Structure 1
């Protein structure tokens, strides 16, 4: 009997022979079967490590009727948040022994969503993660029966889906508290597109917290997430603003604000404080370095995969899960009147 695969790699029968057990016992260890003695489990795992054995995923799929594959539907993949979320899910899935098949989600409603679902189902996925930041995209998905556990990355709970998110509300509240504690009571919010779920959550949380601190009421400015929008907004100013700080709903718009204020001769934070959201890699290298809210995308990806794999394997899981968030204070914010 040949103890290796055609490529020279060890197979399950070779592992069984070296460990002195049956190949069915090795299979049960690989599938984390509960009725295996701990000493046997340990011995088999040691042999697997020794021989550098990698199980045949196709054979495992036939045996377990699971493909160990997560489908991801992603919209706006060029934007920082969706892109980093996808990368984090891919990394976490790989660490959990799952593959990922991703498909872009277009903006053409339920028909496009149905095409994406059909493609993923044809790939034999065990669960679906939806990175669809627009409320319209999530609404389109509610009209479709996916037939597998489905998780949407969004801040609020949803009766149709499992949800995991970074705590967007807390992030905005931390920004308001930070500015208020430095004496600011007149703050402009530069929001993201309000059909984006996270932009809407940040905008609502900002205004609710601002009212608690007694901030001056100001209409929001709705941006498009781009640095160009932030820059053009500042360059359109006819005079120095009355408000003492701007909270931009993402770092890209905040970087545009910094550039615009510099070109107009205003000094940040002496003349005005600026806060962003995301903590993109370049935000610590701006002049001045940007105060912002850090989203832990690695934790988001890990929790997403943890929930989806548990659901795919029939375990009980919470309907909604939230990942923590952190305010990163740098030099773009200061007490009213400048640096103290």
Structure 2
């Protein structure tokens, strides 16, 4: 049949009541004889029940909810690629909602996905608070976080403290003493707190005379550019930015002010964005494998769906890429 069949059509062909077909699709009680009649018609006609009927029958939607803070970033694209590789292999589809870097909207998105009946949720979170914990405890589906960590949720995320430490050790090895860390709000615990904490540890460990001045911005190119006057007021020999995006915004400021990188100031970031390889000068960066992180996150969620135990972890796939924007400090 080329015309789309309805439950009533199946009932007519099987010689049973529409309610009987509905109970069959909803996994309710149907006599063995009537179930065989309905099954025979479904197989012969190629009838495919709609999404909601299949969910009632199988108790699965084959949908995974994904909450992202934004889509216009390199990391978001790579994470989604990693998620999709695993979800597609296992026959799942993704339903993506954007929180726009707003914690309350992130919570609302999680609630919406739960109500829509997804099988599980991945949250690339901007922070995890008591409201998140309350929502998770009320949900009856697996939820895993990336981007942030918390001892009461399942998560997998970049090891921001170790990343910061590696960068701090590198900048110290170049004999820089007066450094600015251009970071973000502590509301973002991973990037705003842990990454800076690690940098301080690495930079000061064998460099007790070193001084770090913290300047707060956000992740936008515009605000990084606007932070330039404050940054240079500390007269640093090096500036380390919490993300490559921030570093590129500041680099534009340096170009306009005729501040030469790295001759006057060394500059570095975090992320390993490809655009950093073609900037002038090319950007030194602590690169993360976001695609790998996305793959591991999706794998953990699917394990949770199979009621298999999972452990939270910090991902250590990172690599310091040394390019033209850093050099030994002037003596």
Shorter chain as denominator, the TM-score bin is 0.7 to 0.9
Correspondences of 1:206-285 after superposition (within 5 Å): 206-213=199-206, 214-235=208-229, 241-285=234-278
Correspondences of 1:170-185 after superposition (within 5 Å): 170-185=162-177
How far, CA to CA, are the matches of 2:59 and 2:78 in structure 1?
31
Equivalent residues of 2:101, 2:126 under 8 A apart? no
Specify whether residues 109 and 219 from structure 1 end up closer, same or farther in structure 2 by C-alpha distance, changes over 3 A only: same
Equivalent residues of 1:192, 1:250 under 8 A apart? no
Per-residue deviation at 1:293?
1.5
Partner of residue 9, structure 2? none
* 1:72 maps to which of 43, 56, 66: 66
Partner of residue 114, structure 2? 121
Per-residue deviation at 1:228?
2.1
Equivalent residues of 2:179, 2:213 under 8 A apart? no
* 2:97 maps to which of 103, 123, 139: 103
Q: Deviations over 1:25-77 (max 9, x none)?
A: xxxxxxxxxxxxxxxxxxxxxxxxxxxxxx99969866753333211122344
How far, CA to CA, are the matches of 1:163 and 1:184 in structure 2?
36
* 2:311 maps to which of 290, 303, 318: 318
Per-residue deviation at 1:128?
1.1
Partner of residue 148, structure 1? 141
Q: Deviations over 1:272-301 (max 9, x none)?
A: 110011122211111100001112111011
Equivalent residues of 2:125, 2:148 under 8 A apart? no
Equivalent residues of 1:247, 1:275 under 8 A apart? yes
How far, CA to CA, are the matches of 1:180 and 1:88 in structure 2?
34
Provide structure 1 residue ranges, at least 5 long, that are not aligned to the other structure: 8-54
Equivalent residues of 1:300, 1:323 under 8 A apart? no
* 2:181 maps to which of 179, 189, 192: 189
How far, CA to CA, are the matches of 1:215 and 1:6 in structure 2?
79
TM-score (norm 1): 0.73
Per-residue deviation at 1:321?
4.6
Equivalent residues of 2:220, 2:245 under 8 A apart? yes
Is the radius of gyration larger for structure 1 or structure 2?
Answer: 2
How far, CA to CA, are the matches of 2:163 and 2:69 in structure 1?
23
Per-residue deviation at 1:197?
2.4
Per-residue deviation at 1:312?
0.4
Number of residue equivalences: 282
Q: Deviations over 1:129-186 (max 9, x none)?
A: 1112134xx4421121221111111453421x11011221221111111111222232
Equivalent residues of 2:69, 2:102 under 8 A apart? no
SS in 2 for 1:142: helix
Per-residue deviation at 1:327?
1.1
Per-residue deviation at 1:198?
2.2
How far, CA to CA, are the matches of 1:84 and 1:193 in structure 2?
24
Provide structure 2 residue ranges, at least 5 long, that are not aligned to the other structure: 4-47
